[in-house]
């Protein structure tokens, strides 16, 4: 009989109780190639999630966003910058980050009973569409705490097929002209330290673009 108790599924992945031997066998059967992306056409690259990766995806889907990662920081531009001034430089910086680290533009999906990473090699137009889809600009000023609480309510299921990282720009209610910048991502895809370093690069490239505007990155 098929076991439909989700707790057993979690225990199996965690390697506890009577499922310990099965979990070890699963780990022992993995090879390095199982953790590499593969492609049939050179465009769509996929990799299955295993072990704690899959467990974390299950937690997100069935635990109302549990293990979803949200973080915020406050940026002060001198002189202060409006959304109209920042939007294009931020998009260019985000696309540059994708060019250097394509995994930030992966999607998580679920099919055949398993969770998967999927990455589609984009055209320039598709990369621009990705940036517009994953960068969110909010109109209402909020405090840093309000921004963080707002992000916690914006989780999504790993099985929804969305891109794994979102950026949110919120005008500061504490200091007009400042921007609260938040990220949101499943923890099985990236951690907070990596995301903060990523935001450091995004802000650096945004400042460079504000100082000396350039063309769109060549990603074809």
Mean of the per-residue pLDDT values of the chain: 87
The H-assigned helical ranges of 30-68 are 51-62
Query: 182-207 burial by CB neighbour count: b if 16+ within 10 A, else e?
Result: bbbbbbbbbeeeebeebbeebbebbb
Higher pLDDT pick, 191 / 24: 191
Q: What is the mean pLDDT of residues 12-28?
A: 38
Considering the domain boundaries, does residue 219 fall inside one?
Answer: no
Considering the domain boundaries, does residue 111 fall inside one?
Answer: yes
Considering the domain boundaries, does residue 203 fall inside one?
Answer: yes
Based on the domain organization, do 192 and 177 belong to the same domain? yes
Domain count, the chain: 2
Residue of 15, 105, 18 lying closest to 52 (CA atoms): 15
Based on the domain organization, do 14 and 105 belong to the same domain? no
pLDDT tens digits, residue range 120-175?
Answer: 999 999 999 999 999 999 999 999 999 999 999 999 999 999 999 999 999 999 99
Considering the domain boundaries, does residue 162 fall inside one?
Answer: yes
Alpha-carbon separation of residue 173 from 24, 51, 94, 214 (angstroms):
51, 42, 25, 32
Alpha-carbon separation of residue 135 from 1, 51, 59, 69 (angstroms):
46, 30, 25, 16
Sign of the alpha-carbon torsion through 81, 82, 83, 86: negative
pLDDT value at 119 more than 50: yes
Considering the domain boundaries, does residue 220 fall inside one?
Answer: no
Which CATH number goes with the domain that contains 201? 3.30.559.10
127 Cβ contact partners less than 8 Å away, ≥ 6 residues apart: 95, 98, 105, 217, 219
Based on the domain organization, do 19 and 102 belong to the same domain? no
pLDDT value at 21 more than 80: no
pLDDT value at 218 more than 70: no
Based on the domain organization, do 46 and 62 belong to the same domain? yes
Strand partners, 186: 68
Share of the chain above pLDDT 70, in %: 85
Q: How confident is the model at residue 28 (pLDDT cuts 50, 70, 90)?
A: low
Considering the domain boundaries, does residue 173 fall inside one?
Answer: yes
pTM, entire model: 0.83
Instruction: Provide the residue range defining the domain that includes 14.
Output: 1-30
Based on the domain organization, do 87 and 130 belong to the same domain? yes
Q: What is the mean pLDDT of residues 174-179?
A: 96
Please state, in angstroms and rounded to a whole number, the distance separating the CA atoms of residues 220 and 207.
25
Q: How confident is the model at residue 217 (pLDDT cuts 50, 70, 90)?
A: low
pLDDT value at 44 more than 50: yes
Q: What is the mean pLDDT of residues 18-37?
A: 63
Considering the domain boundaries, does residue 217 fall inside one?
Answer: no
> What pLDDT was estimated at residue 213?
83
Based on the domain organization, do 109 and 200 belong to the same domain? yes
Alpha-carbon separation of residue 108 from 29, 103, 126 (angstroms):
23, 11, 18
> What pLDDT was estimated at residue 214?
81
Is 57 within 8 Å of 186 (Cβ atoms)? yes
Residue of 106, 4, 17, 21 lying closest to 62 (CA atoms): 4
């Amino acid at each position: 009989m098929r076991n439909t108790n989700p707790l057993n599924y979690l225990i199996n992945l965690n390697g506890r109780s009577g499922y310990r031997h099965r979990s070890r066998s699963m780990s022992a059967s993995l090879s390095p190639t199982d953790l590499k992306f593969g492609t049939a056409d050179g465009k769509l690259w996929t990799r299955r999630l295993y072990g704690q990766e899959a467990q974390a995806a299950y937690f997100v889907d069935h635990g109302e966003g549990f293990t979803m990662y949200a973080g915020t920081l406050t940026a002060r531009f001198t002189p202060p910058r409006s959304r109209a001034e920042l939007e294009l430089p931020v998009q260019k910086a985000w696309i540059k980050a994708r060019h250097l680290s394509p995994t930030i533009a992966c999607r998580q999906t679920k099919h055949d009973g398993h969770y998967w990473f999927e990455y589609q090699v984009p055209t320039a137009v598709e990369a621009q569409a990705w940036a517009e889809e994953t960068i969110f600009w909010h109109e209402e000023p909020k405090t840093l705490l309000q921004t963080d609480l707002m992000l916690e309510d914006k989780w999504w299921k790993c099985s929804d097929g969305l891109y794994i990282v979102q950026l949110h720009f919120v005008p500061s209610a504490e200091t007009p002209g400042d921007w609260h910048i938040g990220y949101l991502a499943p923890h099985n895809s990236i951690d907070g330290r990596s995301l903060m370093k990523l935001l450091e690069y995004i802000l650096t490239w945004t400042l460079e673009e504000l100082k000396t505007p350039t063309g769109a990155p060549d990603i074809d």
